[in-house]
Amino acid sequence: MPKSYSGSNVKIEKYVTKLFKPQDAVLLEIVRRAAKEGLPPIHVSPTDGLHLEVITRAIGAKKAVEIGTLAGYSGINIVRGLAHPGKLYTFEFSDHHARVARKSFEKAGLSKRVEIFVGPALKNLKEIEAKGPFDLVFIDADKEGYPGYLDWAAKNLRVGGVVLGDNTFAWGKIDDSRTKEPNVRALQKFNRVAATSKRFKSTILPTGEGLTFGVKIR
């Protein structure tokens, strides 16, 4: 019998959470404060946050880019994984979200290692290109922008650098060839390019929402 690729098991989820303890007091405080500030509850899951830290550590990243800051939850996980002296450049469209995130980084004692850019990411990403090439690019923002963000990553990552795209199972709709939903179509294009581009060797980690994982090879 074939093994499930993206199946979920509540017992296994509880086991992993109990054993690896992916969410500490700092991260839990961000979730609670973000809710009070009216931010949507769309942070990465605690386990996915741990994935970000572990992957960042595994590749020895010193310069990381995050597209979609929200309240700073995923960004803190990335910064925790950066080799010293590492820095995160994070991009957020909403000024309100950026203010909440700035406080998150301050409370975590990581402000000096983070630079937040507010406004359209594709426009603002140009401001950091001279600081590249980068080791890691994490994409978790507007889904229609994913193909453009992947193109930017292909040009600005070092060889051996990693691009990560969240939500790439498109809420269970990624295989719908007839969909007319712009978000889903954009995610389909993102995955297709990641899978077929000669610049990346890619896979999708079967997290709850799908995490596309590409390594730049040329």
For residue 160, give its domain range: 10-216
Q: Report pLDDT for 25.
A: 98
Is the bond leading into 133 cis (omega within 30 degrees of zero)?
yes
> Is residue 4 situated within a structural domain?
no
Domain count, the chain: 1
* DSSP-assigned states of every residue in 9-56: -HHHHHHHHHHH----HHHHHHHHHHHHTT--S-PPPHHHHHHHHHHH
Residue 5: pLDDT band with limits 50, 70, 90: low
- Whether 185 is in a domain gets the answer yes
Mean pLDDT across the chain, nearest whole number?
Answer: 96
Q: Is residue 208 part of a domain?
A: yes
Domain assignment present for 110: yes
CA distance 202 to 185: 19
Burial class (CB in 10 A: 0-12, 13-18, 19+), 218: exposed
> How many Cβ atoms are within 10 Å of 128's Cβ, its own excluded?
17
Structural domain includes residue 2: no
Looking at the predicted structure, is the pLDDT value of residue 3 above 70? no
For 93-107, what is the mean pLDDT?
98
Q: Give the CATH number of the domain where residue 54 resides.
A: 3.40.50.150
d(CA 30, CA 101): 8
Q: Report CA 94 to chain centroid distance, whole Å.
A: 17
Handedness of CA 56, 115, 193, 211 (dihedral sign): positive
> Do 116 and 101 touch, CB atoms closer than 8 A?
yes
Q: Is residue 49 part of a domain?
A: yes
Summarize pLDDT for 121-168 with one digit per residue, the tens. Answer: 999 999 999 999 999 999 999 999 999 999 999 999 999 999 999 999
**Residue 78 pLDDT class (50, 70, 90 cuts):** very high
The pTM of this model reads 0.96
Give the containing element (helix H, strand E) for 201.
strand 200-205
